[in-house]
Structure 1
Amino acid sequence: MYYRKKILLFVFILFIPFVLHSQVDTDSLRVLKEVILKGKPYQEVIPVQTLSGKLLENLSSHNVADALRYFAGTQIKDYGGLGGLKTVDVRNMGTHHVGVFYDGIQLGNAQNGVTDLGKYSLDDMESLTMYNGQKSEIFQSAKDFAAASTIYLRTKRPVFIGYKKTNLLVRFKTMSINYFDPSFRWEQKLSDKVSMSFSSEYIKSNGEYKFRYKRNNLDGTIAYDTTATRHNSDIEALRVESGLYGKINKGSWDAKLYYYDSDRGAPGAIVENKFSDGFRQYDKNFFTQAFLVKDFTEKYKFQARAKFAYDYTHYVARDTTNILGETVTEGAQSDDSYYQQEYYITAVNMYSILSNWDVSLSTDFQYNRLNATRRGIQTQFSYPQRYTTLISLASTYRIGGFKALGSVIGTNVQEEVRYNAKAPDKTEFTPALFLGYTPFKNYDFNLRAFAKRIFRMPTFNDLYYTMIGSSTLRPEYMNQYDVGFTYNFPQNKGFFDKFSFQLDGYYTNTKDKIIAAPTGNLFRWMMTNIGQVEGKGIESVLNMGTHFGKVNLAANLTYTYSESKDYTKFGGLELSSYGDQIPYTPWHSGSGILNADYETWNFNYSFIYVGKRYNGNVNNIKINEVQPWYTHDLAVQKSFAFHNYKLKGAVELNNVLNQNYEVIYNYPMPGRTVKFIISIEL
């Protein structure tokens, strides 16, 4: 019934554009006037990586998480399967220190602080951009300043060519495994200054794939070696988005609606040849947000954003085993539902004191509430509420080839609970300083350095989760330092049309790290502030582009070397893991994207490598070692034109060499798969 309702809803949504398209007024056509935006000379002070345009479109990626793997310094934690959790970590600082922004407003999760990037499709994405530190500008909200690293997901805006008033794209994807994925996007020009978009996507798959499970004993002999099928990895999901975009005198505005509904399985870990059921998760995510920006004078600019979000999550965990032909439940069970609400508003003011000196003041307010129903748990849920106020003061100054950007953020957090003890109110101030210098006028060579201090609040789970949370937790503090350069070779001189290289070295220091530690009872762990982690590394990015006649070639290569070591003491004593690499931190990793474009053909090759790492804190134990993994992906695309219609067909071959690998230990990933995509645009 659930499946049929979603099919009917999707079919209804799919035909809305065709019905409305037949009602479009074609008697009067208007030409959108050309708009030229002028700004001050822009110098990128902060390391930035971007995937956009054809390079993003042609990646063999299912969702945002898959695409982010190609950024230097990122690690995607993928628990396998189409419905498994997928999170991002930058420079091994922890998932909670990464701010993910969707069309300018941060995606929130006050319950556990984790953004599941597997929910977000690439179909509507215009660009993915990652900054270490923050953006190289001060005309932004206080929350943009309040993260150690930021990732910006920008969706497509309507663009109309000539007298065209309607754009419609219908796409269908399928795979060699059971996978069904139709989608569409409709864009309509309502007037010279207002346009809208509406898109939807439906995904249905049983998620089953074969994998090889092999484990060796410490002496090298084989303990387990079997081939099996991954179950409980299914997904059924519906995504609906709508946007309204407008222009005003010396400004613009937009509004957005987003809805995501899914029923998915998350397969459990494979331990000692036991294939656990894992759990099931049901999600309903809705948010609406709006944005306004306006230049009131040549010196004063203003922007405002607002958002309301409602998230419903239902977890059901029940591991079973077969005894004498009967299915019997084993281990702990859970059947919990969580309801989150978030209200957010921000106002940003920027004033140009001089032509080379700007200041900004941003004020943000956010309210979060978490309710829950938990079957079989007798203890009272806390029902926490959080009121967060952030105020940022920032300034940027330019003189010659030198640019400086400084900011300080004041954060006040107040909490209320219905039951149990509440966390104390907190007020923190965190500064940041960014410097950039262009030493040569005739060469696009930029030096940069920054120092930033930031912190993260404990999540509701950290503070109030039954038997584990601790309401006395302190914030987790992060200091980050970076030195690097970028060099862009002159265009159209020599062999390359484009050639740029950037290199950064960094150091991070985390204090009062929030971790789970054992109490007097080894079966009971509690969140506490005893962790300390120091990290350092090197990141490099190389972008190249050239052409041979009608053949255009582009390449994007990254390499990362990283160390992130645990210096945690417990009771004043060094743990056995003291000085060892923290779990799932490879020393070496890299990626490559090669793209060739010839008339109506496009070829794409992508490669990812993740080196040796450990799944436990202690690095000198062989059993904790996780072998390197790598994948090769190929894609070919062909475009056809029929009058006013554009047809595209694509074939993708993922994991070409059929490597058996695990991103997270005991969570096997799919082998070789083939994906087929067809789209029609009018």
Structure 2
Amino acid sequence: MRKHILTSLISMLSIVPAHSVGTNAYISVSASDIPDGRKSVDTVSSDLPNIEVKSLKNKKRVSSSTPQYNLDSEIIRQTGITDISEAMRRLPGVNLRDYGGAGGLKTVSVRGLGSEHTAVIYDGVSLSDCQSGQIDLSRYSIDNVRSLSLYSGDNDDIFLPAKAAASASSLYISSFTSTDDADFHLKSQMKIGSFGYYNPYIRLGKGNDNDRGFSYSANAEYIHSENDYPFILTNGDLITHEKRENSRMNSWLGEFNGMYRFGDSSRIVGKVYYYDNSRDLPGQVIYYVNGSNEHLRDRNFFGQFQYKGRLSSKFSLASTAKFNWSSSRYTDIDGKYPGGILDNYYIQRETYFTGALLFTPFSGFSMDYSLDWSWNNLSSNLKTDIRPYRNSILQTLAAKYKVWRLTVMARALYSLYINKAKDGDAGKDNRRLSPSVMLSLKPIADVGWYIRTSYKNIFRVPTFNEAYFDHYGSINLDPEITDQFNFGMTFESNATFLSNITLTCDGYINHVKNKIVAVPYNMFVWRMTNLGKVRVFGLDATISSEYVVTDKQSLILTGSYSYQRAQPRTNPGSSEWMKQVAYIPLNSGSASLSWLNSWVNGVIHFTGCSPRYTTNSNIPETKIDGYCDFGFSVSRTFMLKNKNKFRIQGDLLNVFNRQYEIVARYPMPGRSWKISVEFEM
């Protein structure tokens, strides 16, 4: 292990910057920032008004008592990131499931625990999928992202909804919901690219620079792609050139945000979101079978309201109400089905309420109590549908104390899940108390060096698919339980020839009990059961630095590296014992080098990983080769009259046309290009 880590650290290059290098990065504190978890607790009483906090993002990442990795919109532009899946591949400890092509399903697993253990929080409110437990990140536009923040373990902010603390890791997506500029704002953009790709996008809004009043923003996006990219199929000495079939995608996305301020410390924020994706499913490439007649249509609507306000000098309140509706319709035309077609239709509904009360009796000490309630149900057109539903009640009590150069935080989460079914037997009810504790120490006052350690115990209940899916689910499943231990150090300095350098390094151990896995029930039926134990130990390291060449030129070098040793430890006599868990690479990383200047900005970047296996037994036939994907990006911004802007960007992806797979038998696109033109006023 030591050899793997040292070798990879020497060549470490990649990205996880948490600040806008070369610019004055700022956070504009808004209503959604209170549950968003990116402010230090000791500033809550003073920064509730709408103010600008200079260079807070990088300081927060370095001083955080838990691993935190951020990408803001400026860094996304500077480093050649073209979509959210690419952004996720730049973060350490992340394993992305990507089935290839624009609009393909993209889910995230952090530190080898599985995507069901990763919560996604969109503008301060958790997203949910009670059917699969996985959030598809392709539903959210990178052009509307203000920042992405990934937390491994607990969040070191205590003023959070209880649901935000109920997962092993969390991804916060903050969108452009409002602006402090009272002028009307408009951004229009058009992207075109290889394989029939085009993507128009528009965002408009009007801010409010007064203590009282209304501000709003709205955005819409359409994506079309044929996704008919070529790939090479090899079978021994026989090589054929194929093209991806049945892979067309049409996606619509619309969103409206409104905010009303009652004064300098109280406001209400509302959001309405709609998504509609109609896509063909290409299927696996197996023995020259490339055709498919599968189709999937996903729709999602939600509306939410958030209130945030200061009740007094010592108390603050945040509350949220949300309704979510989503549907999924899967069809497959094949003679093996009665009538020649399979048509499955699923509908999910969620009602969600949360409230959080923050108490700050004196400077440096804060306490929070949060209470969440949600109701989820799933229905379908299947004859075996039993219409399950679940009531979830989550409560957290948290405290944070900062004294001298030491910060200590503790949280207790009490979870109660009540499962019912209208037309059949329901799964087990579950309740549990889950503690977490974190500590951060700055040993030397004048040196930006921090030591941090944390522990979190958490569990996840079975998804509705795992509990109720016909001939597959089991209502007798117990929750998966995880214990997460982390120890790390961070360092930041601008006392070198570099204008800024930031380093982070974290080692961790994760233990999973009652791992939910599929096992053969008989020759034809597989069933879900609690069979597995998994141990994961690894290391995440990041670097970001800037070198100012002249007053008009600078170089930004950023990097990350991850080592993950994820081992099944269920049965010492099995073929899986101490092997590598499927789809988790031993080594992974990414890199970005940006040249910023007054002419044309240029970026070279790459992401890559070592070989993986599709099964836990790690037999040679299930091996997936590693890959290294390089890309280039150039851009130029033209300043027009009245502060208007015109920007053009060109991207060349997978420059060396390397064919690789992230998911077995789903080849990723080869060399491709994108051109983006945007106007902003």
> What are the residue-to-residue correspondences of 1:152-171 with 2, within 5 Å?
152-159=172-179, 161=181, 165-171=183-189
Which residue is equivalent to 1:665? 664
Q: In structure 2, what is the equivalent of residue 99 of structure 1?
A: 119
Aligned to 1:78: 98
- Show the counterpart of 1:172: 190
Is the Cα contact below 8 Å between 1:224 and 1:273 reproduced in 2?
no
Q: Name the structure 2 match of 1:499.
A: 501
Q: Distance in 2 between matches of 1:654 and 1:330?
A: 44
- Please, which of 225, 238, 248 is the counterpart of residue 252 of structure 2? 238
1:272 equivalent in structure 2: 287
In 2, distance between residues paired with 1:586 and 1:330?
42
Q: In the TM superposition, what are the counterparts of 1:41-56 in structure 2 within 5 Å?
A: 43-56=63-76
Alignment of 1:89-128 (within 5 A): 89-128=109-148
CA distances 1:174-196 after superposition (whole Å, capped 9, x unpaired)? 01321121111011236733210
Q: Which has the bigger relative contact order, CA under 8 A and spacing at least 6?
A: 2
Gap change, CA 1:128 and 1:181, over 3 Å in 2: same
- 2: distance between equivalents of 1:140 and 1:333? 46
Output aligned runs, 1:252-267, within 5 Å.
252-267=267-282
Deviation for aligned residue 1:554: 1.5
Post-superposition offset of 1:248: 2.8
Q: Is the 8 A contact 1:415 1:424 kept in 2?
A: yes
Shift of 1:642: 2.6
Correspondent of 1:622 among 611, 620, 628? 620
Cα distance between partner residues in 2 of 1:319 and 1:441 = 69
Taking the aligned partners of 1:405 and 1:426, their CA distance within structure 2 comes to 26
Query: Residue in 2 aligned with 1:389?
Result: 393
Following TM superposition, by how much is the alpha carbon of 1:264 offset from its aligned partner in structure 2, in angstroms?
0.6
Write the letter of the residue equivalent to 1:176: S
Q: In the aligned structure 2, how far is the partner of 1:189 from the partner of 1:427?
A: 44
The answer to whether residue 110 in structure 2 is matched with residue 69 in structure 1 is no
**Aligned counterpart in structure 2 of residue 468 of structure 1, from 472, 475, 480:** 472
The 3 A distance-change label for structure 1 pair 352 and 482 is same
What is the one-letter code of the residue matched to 1:669?
M
Q: CA RMSD in A?
A: 2.1
AA at the equivalent of 1:85:
L
Q: Which of these residues, 238, 252, 261, is aligned with residue 247 of structure 1? A: 261
- Is the CA contact 1:84–1:265 (under 8 Å) kept in the aligned structure 2? no
Given residue 234 of structure 1, which amino acid in structure 2 is its aligned partner?
R
One-letter amino acid matched to 1:546: Y
One-letter identity of the residue aligned with 1:373:
N
Alignment pair present for 1:540 and 2:541: yes
Deviation of residue 618 (structure 1)? 1.4
Change (3 A) 1:59 1:226: farther
Asked if the contact 1:396–1:406 (Cα under 8 Å) also holds between the matched residues in 2, the reply is yes
Deviation track 1:241-267 (CA, whole Å, cap 9, x = no partner) reads: 110123333133311111001101221
Rg larger in structure: 1
For 2:555 and 2:340, the matched residues in 1 are separated by 54
Map of 2:220 onto structure 1: 200
Distance 1:233 1:653, change over 3 A: same
Give distance in 1, aligned partners of 2:310 and 2:260. 15
Structure 1 residue 182 corresponds to structure 2 residue 180: no
Contact 2:177/2:258 (8 A) holds in 1 = no
Per-residue deviation, 1:382: 1.0
Conservation of the 8 A alpha-carbon contact between 2:245 and 2:291: no
Report the TM-score, using the length of structure 2 for normalisation.
Answer: 0.88
Preserved contact between residue 73 and residue 145 of structure 2 (Cα < 8 Å): no
After superposing the two structures, state which structure 1 stretch, 590-599 or 248-257, moved more: 248-257
Q: What does 1:450-465 correspond to in 2, within 5 Å? A: 450-465=454-469
CA distance in 2, matches of 1:556, 1:332: 53
Correspondence for 1:87 among 107, 113, 136: 107
CA displacement, residues 125-177 of structure 1 (integer Å, 9 cap, x when unaligned): 0001101112211011111111111100000143355xx52111110010132
Distance of 2:80 and 2:422 partners within structure 1: 48
Sort the Cα spacing of 1:35 and 1:147 in 2 relative to 1 into closer, same or farther, 3 A.
closer
Other structure's SS at 1:123 match: helix
Give the counterpart letter for 1:296 in structure 2: L
Q: Which amino acid aligns with 1:514?
A: I
**1:516 alignment partner AA:** A
Q: Distance in 2 between matches of 1:191 and 1:399?
A: 36
Amino acid corresponding to residue 97 of structure 1 in structure 2: H
Whole-Å Cα distance in 2 between the matches of residues 420 and 574 of structure 1? 38
Tell me, in whole angstroms, the C-alpha distance in 1 between the residues paired with 2:268 and 2:546: 35
Structure 1, 630-639 or 39-48: larger mean CA deviation: 39-48
In structure 2, C-alpha distance between the alignment counterparts of 1:212 and 1:60, rounded to whole Å: 27
The offset of 1:334, in angstroms, is: 3.0
Q: Whole-Å Cα distance in 2 between the matches of residues 112 and 601 of structure 1?
A: 44
What is the aligned residue count? 623
8 Å CA contact 1:480–1:506 kept in 2: the answer is yes
Aligned to 1:21: none
The residue type equivalent to 1:636 in the other structure is V
Provide the secondary structure at the position in 2 that maps to 1:54.
Answer: helix
Q: 347, 355, 380: which is aligned to 1:347?
A: 355
Equivalent residue for 2:631?
633
Q: Which residue of 1 aligns with 2:429?
A: 425
Q: 1:407 to 1:191 in 2, by over 3 A?
A: closer
How far apart, CA to CA, are the structure 1 residues paired with 2:453 and 2:294?
Answer: 45
Query: CA offset at residue 602 of structure 1?
Result: 1.8
2: CA distance between counterparts of 1:152 and 1:558?
Answer: 19
Change (3 A) 1:614 1:331: farther
Percent identical among aligned pairs is: 29
Aligned-partner Cα distance in 1 for 2:119–2:599:
38
Structure 1 pair 479–276 and aligned structure 2 pair: CA distance change class (3 A): farther
The answer as to whether partners of 1:402 and 1:436 remain within 8 angstroms in 2 is yes
Structure 1 length-normalised TM:
0.88
Q: Does residue 1:358 correspond to 2:366, yes or no?
A: yes
SS at 1:208's partner residue?
coil
Offset at residue 670 of structure 1 (A): 0.5
One-letter amino acid of the counterpart of residue 400, structure 2: T
2:23 is matched with which residue?
A: none
Structure 1 residues 37 and 609, CA gap change in structure 2 (3 angstroms): closer
The equivalent position to 2:512 in structure 1, one of 510, 516, 539, is 510
CA distance in 2, matches of 1:444, 1:246: 39
Residue among 398, 404, 410 paired with 2:408: 404
In the alignment, structure 1 segments of 5+ residues that lack a partner are 1-33, 216-221, 321-327
Residues 542, 456 of structure 1: alpha-carbon distance in 2 compared, 3 angstrom cutoff: same
Deviation for aligned residue 1:57? 2.5
Partner SS state of residue 465, structure 2: helix
Matched, 1:295 2:297: no
Q: Distance in 1 between matches of 2:558 and 2:238?
A: 39
Name the SS for the 2:381 alignment partner.
strand
Shift of 1:319: 5.2
Out of 479, 485, 505, which is 1:481 matched to? 485
Contact 2:180 2:208 in 1 (8 A): no
Unaligned runs of 5+ in 2: 1-48
- 3-state SS of paired residue (1:275): coil
Offset of 1:62 from its aligned partner?
4.3
Assess if the C-alpha contact under 8 Å between 2:180 and 2:209 holds in 1.
no
Distance 2:166 2:107 in 1: 19
Match of 1:15 in 2: none
Could you tell me whether the CA contact under 8 Å between 1:394 and 1:405 is conserved in 2? Answer: yes
CA distance 1:679–1:233, change in 2 (3 Å):
same
Query: 1:596-644, CA deviations, whole angstroms, 9 ceiling, x for partnerless residues?
Result: 211253212211011111112112x221221111111111111112313
> Secondary structure of the equivalent of 1:66?
helix
Shift of 1:66: 2.1
